[in-house]
A and B are shown apart, each in its own frame.
Chain A
Amino acid sequence: DTAVSQTPKYLVTQMGNDKSIKCEQNLGHDTMYWYKQDSKKFLKIMFSYNNKELIINETVPNRFSPKSPDKAHLNLHINSLELGDSAVYFCASSQATGETEAFFGQGTRLTVV
């Protein structure tokens, strides 16, 4: 069983489109995250959500929005895609205690053309 799964694995789309990436975790974790990894391998936190609190990195454009239908899912919706949004997006989850690791999904490579 995949602990953190995200779909799709690859996404190619045109500028201006709206797209969503889905994430599900079956670990019973309290906190889920979205990270963006650029070509230089830097993992930048975008959002964290623990069904009580949404923490947004203030540098993230408001075209990006997380949507959580329940504790096990945190989807990422992106409006009006731009070329600079091309990156690998990782979903992750962890327990809320902070003394356990974050588990990552397999990543979604988004290419905006």
Chain B
Amino acid sequence: QKEVEQNSGPLSVPEGAIASLNCTYSDRVSQSFFWYRQYSGKSPELIMSIYSNGDKEDGRFTAQLNKASQYVSLLIRDSQPSDSATYLCAVNVHTGNQFYFGTGTSLTVIP
């Protein structure tokens, strides 16, 4: 299994703060990168996807990718209590179209 590492947390931030989630991956041929959010008892749902180096912004979410460092991050600005969930980093190695997930980071936003 390809290795995808995340800080397991838990990570707690006050409401309105910036939450920073980090992910590293071991396979240099990884080509597509995803952040999923999973609420307790629910299935993972896509937050962001990023395919090239740099930043990608979508509302309060910004994904950052650095392929040289094999690093991808997710910033959540103006964190809300509804952002409290487990965030899963995923990489896709296009050969075989395989998605590999990290262990997840549990985020709690404190009102």
Chain A residues with a Cβ under 8 A of chain B: 30-31, 33, 35, 40-45, 48, 50, 53, 55, 57, 59, 90, 92, 94, 96-102, 104-107
Contacts and interface: CB of A to CB of B under 8 A. Distances in A.
Contacts of A31: 97
If over half of A's interface residues share one DSSP class (helix, strand or loop), that class is named, otherwise mixed; here it is: loop
Contacts, number: 69
Contacts of A96: 97
A31 B94 CA distance: 12
Given A45-B1, A106-B42, 15 more contacts: A30-B97, A31-B97, A33-B99, A41-B88, A45-B98, A48-B96, A48-B97, A55-B96, A90-B43, A99-B31, A99-B51, A99-B94, A102-B99, A104-B43, A105-B43
A98 B32 contact: yes
B22 to A, nearest CB: 16
Interface in B70-111: 86, 88, 90, 92-94, 96-101, 103-104, 106
Which interface class (under 10, 10 to 19, 20 to 34, 35 or more) fits B?
20 to 34
Residue among A42, A96, A98 facing the most chain B CB atoms (10 A cut-off): A98
Nearest to A6: B43
Interface of B: 1, 8, 31-32, 34, 38, 42-46, 49, 51, 86, 88, 90, 92-94, 96-101, 103-104, 106
